[in-house]
Chains A and B, each alone.
Chain A
């Protein structure tokens, strides 16, 4: 793999840009692998990368039914933060946030991580109390988070309306300065390129149609659109389709899949300096480097695999955006889309071994998996390589729904996230 650098750009500029290599290869699948990862999103590709990089396991295939990064990796609003309430979550998401810091350098790929700050607005007394509790809890866990009064929030994000005559006036905000955004496609592409360079096979347009098990119940491999592919270990990293895949191995999951929509506006000059979220009125907004306002809505209420949702959900979000930022009331929206998110009962992910020997699952990220991509991939690779969880993900088990040891971020934030 030829490294990307300023010299490479200069060299290619001199010869008409005809020397750039393909970023990853598309080899014919082998008959078997040490590890097969199902799902070539950021989490899956990252898992393959860390398996090769940290654990020396390079006989790995990532199998994808569509195209690389075409699922939720390419559909989310790219928000990165780690200000979760519980110790387990803070550990996991902050692990990811730490890995984000120099991911571009590590992958030799500009993932455009921009720590522009994530500001979470609070609109009523309960919000304020709960957010302050989050701030204190985060700081005890070594996670940066601070409280802003409305005027300070306005100073940090000038388009914000802090008028007390708003329908839901801003009573303050919690700000995580290390939070921000990254370029979602680049994360998938960067991991794919680095993994491919170490010998990982990336096999696109190849749907997994079955998970085969041996006489003792252990995993033997996967049936795919291109025939049977043997594997000593299989890691399912399939987001909204996890239930469908795990059913193939006879494991029924505590998951429900919902559509989650996002939309972008026409591109405009830089106007919005940070990420603003509001759980109460339910809106997420930032501005991409292309200039589009990137806006996230809430989930639709019914389970679905349709990758589309109702217009009223988007409308509800835009009502909130216009109330908080009257400056945007005449912006035109360019396009909207949906992804399918897998939601667990406690709104925390499952990153774990399963009752089936050799089968591992990384799922349940709900509406907020992008931020965790590097951390999730890193500890999941550890779990697969050692057949035992990393200290950071040891509580994110499948068994917690039997034992009752939930990590109840649902109750902590009162929204899916």
Chain B
């Protein structure tokens, strides 16, 4: 089970308190009706699914209930950082240097 740091509660809590909520930093387009099929597919269906560091959303459903973002390595399942929703993507290289993890 993962241990996840909720940036709002400022606590590390077990995974069963959280719900994974997919890839992060996907903004819903403003004019959905004007979107081309291609663009809609990109927004709605295509996912990064990277082997390595991913940006993803979590929700602290059995805690504060709020969504936040995380950087996690999908080979080791280790978190590099969690941060509040709406904040920009953290710098990956700096994070990796800080955590001492390989790419």
Contact = CB atoms under 8 A, between A and B. Distances in A.
A311 B1 contact: yes
B47 A256 contact: yes
Contacts of A310: 1-2, 15
Contact of B49 (A255, A345, A403): A255
Interface residues of B, number: 26
B68 to A, nearest CB: 14
B46 A301 contact: no
Contacts, number: 66
A100 B47 CA distance: 34
B75 interface: yes
B51 interface: yes
Given A241-B51, A244-B51, A312-B16, A304 B74 contact: yes
Interface string A317-345: 00000000000000000000000000001
Nearest to B14: A312
Interface residues of A, number: 24
Contact of A306 (B38, B40, B44, B77): B77
A303 B15 contact: no
A122 interface: no
A409 B39 CA distance: 24
B74 A253 contact: no
B37 A403 contact: yes
**Chain A interface helix/strand/loop/mixed:** loop
Nearest to A255: B49
A303 B47 CA distance: 11
Nearest to A306: B77
Interface string A271-315: 000000000000000000000000000000111111010111000
Interface of A: 241, 243-244, 252-257, 301-306, 308, 310-312, 345, 401-404
Interface of B: 1-2, 15-16, 19-20, 22, 37-38, 40-42, 44-47, 49-51, 54, 56, 72, 74-77
23 contacts: A241-B51, A243-B50, A244-B49, A244-B51, A252-B42, A253-B46, A253-B47, A254-B41, A254-B45, A254-B47, A256-B47, A257-B49, A301-B20, A302-B2, A302-B20, A302-B72, A303-B54, A303-B74, A304-B74, A304-B77, A306-B75, A311-B1, A402-B37
